[in-house]
Amino acid sequence: MIVPPSWFMALGAVLFAIGVAGVVLRRNVIVMLMSIELMLNAVNLTFIAVSRALGSVDGQVIVLFVITLAAAEAAIGLAIIIASFRNRETVNADEMNLMRW
Amino acid sequence: MPLGLFIFLAALAVLSALGVILQRNPVHCLMALVLTLLDIAVLFIGLGAVTVGFLQAIVYVGAIMILFLFVIWLLNLRVEQRPSGHPALKLFGAIGAAALFAELCTFVIKAPSTAGLSTVPAGFGSIASIAQALFTNYLIAFEVTSLLLLVAVIGAVALARRPANIAGKQSRSL
Amino acid sequence: MTASFPALGLILLLPALGVLFNLFLGRRCGRAAVNFVGPAVIFGAFAVGCWAFATLLTMPRGAALAVTLWPWIEAGSFHVDFALRMDALSAVMTLIVSGVGAFIHLYSVGYMAHDEDYARFFTYMNLFMFSMLVLVLADNLLMMFVGWEGVGLCSYLLISFWYSNAEFAYNGRKAFVVNRIGDAGFILGILTLVYALGSHGVWTLTFTGMQAHREILGTTWGPLGCSVATVAGLLLFLGATGKSAQIPLYVWLPDAMVGPTPVSALIHAATMVTAGVYMVARLHFLFIMSPPTMNLIATIAALTAFFAATIALVQPDIKRVLAYSTISQIGYMFMGVGVGAFASGIFHVMTHAFFKALLFLCAGSVMHALDGEQDMNRMGGLWRKLPITYATMLIAALAISALPGFSGYFSKDLILESVYDSGHVGLWLLGVITAGLTSFYIFRLIFMTFHGTSHVDPQRAAHIHESPPVMTIPLLVLALFATFGGWINVPGHFLWGDAFVRFLAPVTGNFKPVMEASPTMLSMLAVAATVIGIAFAWLLYIRQPQLPGRMAETATGLYRTLLRKYYIDELYNTLVSRPLFWIAGPALARGVDQQGIDGLVDGSAMTVENSGEAVRRVETGNVQHYVLVYLFGAVAIAAYYLYLVMR
């Protein structure tokens, strides 16, 4: 049986929800970043599925760009974590609350 | 793609994703994420996006995950203590994620079914077709993205650079 | 007929120049210059007044001199000029005001010889003369009101002349505020007239103009169905009670005695307080058309005369006795105009100016000799030491008691006769009784001050001296007029009978008697009352000096009520002042301003601040909290789209 693209999109939804849960529930900022990557990949999966369903290659090009942007964002994010770690000695999100009232 | 393979890959993806968010040791989380990404790469290839699938494996897994690994090693992260997050936060987070999942599923179900796959042209997903789209329709986006990467490189270097004068301070492992 | 007489303007110009000189150059030019200029400008005004009067006498009866100084208000058809008009009535008033005023200025030179503020004093005095002459010579009601206000201002300035004393300053304010209440009535009266005349197309406030259209004043006005004349007349009379110290607005006059004695003589005896009588006489055509108003005026006047005389019976302060005496005598004047005998009221204004000013100046002379003592209980036996003062004051007392031959007799007798002839027998009787009381209290004053054993403080007794000529000459001049001044209007069949009344008749109208009783009989009754009063005073204060004390002890309640002026001041304080202060203070200042308005402003600020305090707790600084909120937002938006898809 041929797997319809909607199943792939459903899988993408599951992975996205798991990624969101990870961002909200984990306190380690590195793991939070990983969860964000997971969300991005879920979206990529959805794009590819739609591209296949519509028969257009545009979806894959978009995924290409997303991958590129994910790379840039991961680099910058990790650099910020490193800089912050120098001052604070922690990667615990709960303890990074200088901007509180 | 045969149904059995899809079910296997889907289950593996979900399980490893759960592993990402539930593991204690950040390195274990990273390994789970690598597995998930590779799994997704296979799914890409199964959907006909061969180029993107390989690129995912090479760039995403091969570069970005390695970057994460380096940072974890640099920060010398230990295993996380017993998480003492606020129970309310956990509750609301779980509820929110579940709600989101429910909505997304509903969307997917309610979306007009495409009645299977449409016929794809030959060479769908090949490098040539991607390059064709990339360098004609999406040329400006391509150029801007390269500029963006340049900015990201400079930014990362500037942010993570060791501060200039720490004379007298004991140099750390960073 | 009206002739143009530009020199009338000089009558106002001279005092105005006096004001300017004393105000700006007075201190610099020194006491001698001020002492000359102050009285001199008034004597000059008097001279010009005499010249104008002489001119008027050569003209036919009912003529007038006029001059328009400059146009003042031009509002469409409404037109008011600064214009002067001297007819018989204003001529008489001008001569009284400037003549008596001039001599009082002369007297002040001596009285204020030891005061440092001489320049300010003569500035105010000249300003007062200017305002009073404006009032008297004005040819329209609005300009008269300007003068009216001006004299009120000067009264305030002069009462609180020694302002460093808080009580004196308070009394000045009291005078001004009470006056103001009357002035409110006056203004409303003017507005009534303007409105009433204007709605018939007549836009003038000149006396001649209003008199020419007086039929309009008879029309009904307002919801109560009274005539214009009644409404306007009552309102204007309210103003008169304030300025001329009748019931209910007389309370400022006794307290005004804290001012320098020449001020009391000039303003609160001879001139300003008679302005109300002049106003009624001027507007005789208005008041004639409103019998209810006239009755009210006559009644209030009689009551005031009696009421004030009773208070004067027991006052120990020499100036206060004279103050209440003034209130009482003005009551007589209003009685005269109230029954329609306008000329008689003006006649009494004239004689009263002579003898009351004289009384005050003599009192001032006594106080000057005793270094400021005003309590009669600490006087006595002064007649040897102050012969001129004693003689002149005795003459004045005889005049005010209306003993035949003196000026007061002719004027008071004329009034009482007119009152009886108009049918108000009750008021006539009240007037006769008051005459008895008058002679009693004035001779009480004479006996306590000049006769009997001396209760003068020994230190002061050593320095008693008669006043200098600059003070005694005015006394003598006024005594002359107080004696012979009444002879210009002897009753009907004698000599040049009723010359004064006949002179004024073209302006003030003729008095039509209702009843005709034997004038001699009425006179006899009044004189009898007077003699009884004098005899009683002699008995109580010369023969049996211990009697007054014993009487006071037996009738303590009555005595104390009279002494304390029937507690009217306290009554006004409770009924009017305290509620007003309460409204201003706790009600408005605290309630509305502090709690209401400030509360609103501060409250809104506090609300913003507190809500900000509460809301800022949302900023926890924890990224995951923010992500959670973001997530819920996303879920909500997705739910909305889901809803759209489902439909």
- Domain span including residue A85: 29-89
> CA torsion angle for C421, C423, C424, C428 (degrees, to 10)?
30
Interface chains of chain A (3 or more CB pairs under 8 Å): B, C
C632: chain B residues, CB-CB within 8 Å: 92, 96
Please report the pLDDT score of residue C298 as a whole number.
93
- Alpha-carbon distance of C120 to C114, in angstroms, equals 14
- Measured between CA atoms, the residue of chain B closest to residue A76 is B156
With beta carbons less than 8 A apart as the criterion, state whether C42 and C15 touch: yes
B89: chain C residues, CB-CB within 8 Å: 624-625, 628
Please report the pLDDT score of residue C332 as a whole number.
93
Preferred mutation among C632, C643, C644, C647 to probe B, highest tally of B CBs within 10 A = C632
Closest Cβ opposite residue A15 in set B13, B77, B141: B13
Query: In chain A, how long is the greatest CA-to-CA distance?
Result: 58
Instruction: Give the model confidence (pLDDT) of C215-228 as tens digits.
Output: 888 888 777 778 88
End-to-end Cα spacing for chain B: 48
Q: How far is CA B20 from CA A15, A22, B75, B89, C641, in A?
A: 11, 8, 19, 19, 31
Higher pLDDT, C452 or C176: C176
Give me the mean pLDDT over the C20-35 stretch. Answer: 89
- Alpha-carbon distance of C226 to C213, in angstroms, equals 18
Please report the pLDDT score of residue C568 as a whole number.
85
The domain total for chain A is 1
Preferred mutation among A31, A39, A97 to probe C, highest tally of C CBs within 10 A = A97
Residue C254, judged by CB atoms within 10 A of its CB (0-12, 13-18, 19+), counts as: buried
Hey, are the CB atoms on C624 and A97 less than 8 Å from each other? no
Q: Judge whether A11 lies within some domain.
A: no
- Alpha-carbon distance of B71 to B120, in angstroms, equals 42
Asked if residue B117 has pLDDT above 80, the reply is no
Please report the pLDDT score of residue B165 as a whole number.
61
Hey, are the CB atoms on B52 and A48 less than 8 Å from each other? yes
User: SS3 sequence, C99-165?
Assistant: HHHHHHHHHHHHHCCCCCCHHHHHHHHHHHHHHHHHHHHECEHHHHHHHHHHHHHHHHHHHCCCCCC
C618: chain A residues, CB-CB within 8 Å: 101
Asked if residue B150 has pLDDT above 90, the reply is yes
Angstroms from C605 CA to nearest CA on chain A? 20
Among the residue ranges B21-30, B87-96, B115-124, C8-17, the one predicted with the least confidence is: B115-124
With beta carbons less than 8 A apart as the criterion, state whether C337 and C378 touch: no
- Of the candidates C385, C387, C361, the one whose C-alpha atom is nearest the C-alpha of residue C106 is C361
Domains of chain B, residue spans? 1-80, 123-162
List residues bridging with C83 in a β-sheet.
C68
Please report the pLDDT score of residue C272 as a whole number.
83
- Alpha-carbon distance of C450 to C397, in angstroms, equals 13
Instruction: Give the model confidence (pLDDT) of C540-593 as tens digits.
Output: 888 777 787 778 778 788 888 888 878 888 888 888 888 888 888 877 777 778
The two three-digit tokens of residue C449, written as one number: 């001050």
Asked if residue C492 has pLDDT above 70, the reply is no
**What is the pTM for the complete model shown?**
0.71
Preferred mutation among C642, C644, C647 to probe B, highest tally of B CBs within 10 A = C642
- Alpha-carbon distance of A43 to A15, in angstroms, equals 9
Residue B91's pLDDT band (cuts 50, 70, 90):
confident
The two three-digit tokens of residue C26, written as one number: 């007075």
With beta carbons less than 8 A apart as the criterion, state whether C537 and C444 touch: yes
With beta carbons less than 8 A apart as the criterion, state whether A33 and A71 touch: no
Q: Per CB distance under 8 Å, which residues of C are interface residues toward A?
A: 616-624, 627-628, 631
Q: Judge whether A15 lies within some domain.
A: no
Interface chains of chain B (3 or more CB pairs under 8 Å): A, C
Please report the pLDDT score of residue C190 as a whole number.
93
Instruction: Give the model confidence (pLDDT) of A39-63 as tens digits.
Output: 999 999 999 998 888 888 899 999 9
Domain B1-80 listed as CATH 1.20.120.1200 = yes
Give me the mean pLDDT over the C66-82 stretch. Answer: 88
Asked if residue C34 has pLDDT above 70, the reply is yes
Hey, are the CB atoms on B96 and C645 less than 8 Å from each other? no
Q: Give SS3 for C481.
A: helix
Asked if residue B114 has pLDDT above 60, the reply is no
C639–chain B Cβ distance below 8 A for any pair? yes
C621: chain B residues, CB-CB within 8 Å: none
Q: Give SS3 for C71.
A: strand
**In chain B, residues 5-44 whose CB comes closer than 8 Å to chain A:** 6, 10, 13-14, 17-18, 20-21, 26, 29-30, 33, 36-37, 40, 43-44
Among the residue ranges A4-8, B162-166, C434-438, the one predicted with the least confidence is: B162-166
DSSP states along B35-57: HHHHHHHHHHHHTT-HHHHHHII
Classify the phi-psi angles of C470: left when phi > 0, otherwise alpha if psi is within -120 to 50, otherwise beta. alpha
Q: Is cis: bond before C248, omega within 30 of 0?
A: yes
- Alpha-carbon distance of C369 to C386, in angstroms, equals 8
Please report the pLDDT score of residue A61 as a whole number.
94
Closest Cβ opposite residue C631 in set B96, B107, B110: B96
Angstroms from B94 CA to nearest CA on chain C? 10
Q: What is the DSSP letter of C378?
A: G
Angstroms from A1 CA to nearest CA on chain C? 29
Give me the mean pLDDT over the B8-23 stretch. Answer: 93
Hey, are the CB atoms on A11 and B14 less than 8 Å from each other? yes
Domain holding A40: CATH number? 1.10.287.3510
Instruction: Give the model confidence (pLDDT) of B93-113 as tens digits.
Output: 888 888 888 888 887 777 666
Interface pTM (ipTM) of the complex? Answer: 0.90
